[in-house]
Amino acid sequence: MDRSVNLLDVALGFGEHQVSDQSPLSGKVVVIEDCVETSGSFVLHQIMKRLLSPPSSSHSLIFLAFARPFSHYDRILRKLGCNLAAQKANNRLVFVDMLMMKCSDGEEDNVSAVAKLFREIQATVRKLRSVTDTNITVMVDDMSLLEISATNSHHVLDFLHYCHTLTSDSNCSLVILNHEDIYLSLERPAYLLQMVCLADVVIKAEPLASGLANDVHGQLTVLNKGISSNSRNKLQNFQFRIKENGIEYFYPGSRT
């Protein structure tokens, strides 16, 4: 068990709470921000694996896939040692394929498309809750694509707030991937600010300032705003190297 807990897990609060069934993320919002140079999707994969693999048997995951088809995640997670197809059959993973989502047919439809999506999520949460008392996580990969398909960013903001109510009402967790660099040029990136404001944990994936390297793929900055049991670990920074079967995390300069 100890072996599989890495720096990111610790920063998120996994590893200490394993005694109880309660997930350290329940009721929290995790926002992952990345940029063109460094993709942050591996963090999603890791959290996915952590939630679905055996020690935490009381987790369910609702995955909104805007970016990739199921086969992509299936292959990646299989290499990480987690079988998504089986989890899907067990109803522990609800995979919502949003690739073809289209809501550009006028304003009225537009509202309903995003609202409909939320209702779908809400219904799924209720259904999962009715079976067992599980921890439910809603994952979005990625939010910027929802923004594009919704065309109106206000609706996306509404969606975000609706989803946020899930965390307080049903104690769900919300894990969102978004791209930070899209908003950097905007004068008032309301959307990004709202998201960071709602977030309990912000994970930022960046490239190394010194450029590309073969053995260090980038750095993560984890800001844990939540009331963690050990409050000293609020802001953490470490580097990572992505491999097929897992991710190596290490503090800068500590790699042998």
Partner 1 sequence: MAAPNVRTSSFSRNRSVVSSPQTPGLKCGPNGTTFVSTGIRDLDRILGGGYPLGSLVMVMEDPEAPHHMDLLRTFMSQGLVNSQPLLYASPSKDPRGFLGTLPNPGSSKEDKPTAPDPDQGESLRIAWQYRKYMENQKNAIDDYSNDFDMRKPLERQFVAGRPIDCVSLLDSSDLSVAQDHCATFLSKFPRNSSNIASVGRIAIQSFCSPLCEYSDKESDMLSFIRLLKSMLMVSNAVAIVTFPPSMLSPSSSTRLQHMADTLLSIKAIPDGDKDLEKLLTGYKDINGFLNVHKVARINTQVPVILEAQTFSMSLKKRRFLALECLNQAPVDGSSGTSYGTSGSCSGSSSKSGALDF
Min separation Cβ 136 and partner 1, Å: 21
- Rounded least distance, CB 167 to partner 1, Å: 26
Query: Smallest distance, Å, CB 36 to partner 1?
Result: 5
8 A C-beta contact, residue 63 and residue 93: yes
Complex with partner 1: residue 123 or 148, whichever CB lies closer: 148
Helix (H, G, I), strand (E, B) or coil at 218: strand
Minimum CB separation from partner 1 for residue 185, in Å? 4
Distance CA 34, CA 59 (A): 26
Spatial CA neighbour of 41 closest among 196, 233, 247: 247
Q: Which is nearer to partner 1, 26 or 60 (CB)?
A: 60
3-state SS of 44-111 is HHHHHHHHHCCCCCCEEEEEEECCCCHHHHHHHHHHHCCCHHHHHHCCCEEEEECCCCCCCCHHHHHH
The contact set with partner 1 (CB under 8 A) reads 36-39, 41-42, 45, 68-72, 74-76, 78-79, 81-83, 85-86, 88-89, 99-100, 102, 104, 144-145, 148-149, 151, 179, 181-186, 207, 210-214, 217, 242-244
What is the spatial distance between Cα 139 and Cα 95, in angstroms, rounded to a whole number?
10
Nearer to partner 1, 10 or 208 (CB): 208
- Cβ of residue 242: shortest distance to partner 1, in angstroms? 5
Q: Which is nearer to partner 1, 69 or 252 (CB)?
A: 69
